[in-house]
């Protein structure tokens, strides 16, 4: 579902592929996935939250690199099965 929504956003707005629009695109993704809850916060707050989540994920990946290899490999394989194949 996530990929389909992102693909639709990109198709509707070619500028969605630009790095500078990443957080706006992700905000649009959240709005489409959770329309009933989205309006509770203003758009600029959503972009700040998305920024922190994306960068928190990057930091977490960096800080935990090489740790919990067994579970990370299992999750990587599950992702491939569900999203690539």
pTM, two decimals, is 0.70
Q: Is the pLDDT of residue 16 over 90?
A: yes
Cβ-in-10-Å burial (0-12, 13-18, 19+) of 30 comes to: middle
Q: Which pLDDT score is estimated for 56?
A: 86
17-69 pLDDT per residue, tens = 998 999 899 989 988 988 887 778 888 888 899 999 999 888 988 888 888 98
Joined together, the tokens standing for residue 74 give: 């299992």
| Secondary element (H or E) of residue 60 | helix 43-63
At residue 40, the pLDDT reads 81
CA distance 38 to 33: 9
């Amino acid at each position: 579902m996530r990929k389909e929504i992102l693909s639709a956003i990109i198709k509707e707005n070619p500028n969605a592929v630009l790095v500078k629009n990443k957080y706006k695109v992700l905000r649009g993704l959240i709005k489409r996935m959770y329309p009933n809850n989205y309006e509770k916060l203003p758009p600029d707050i959503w972009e700040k939250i998305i920024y922190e989540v994306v960068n928190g994920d990057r930091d977490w990946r960096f800080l935990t690199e090489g740790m919990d290899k067994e579970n990370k490999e299992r999750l990587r394989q599950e992702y491939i099965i569900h999203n690539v194949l």
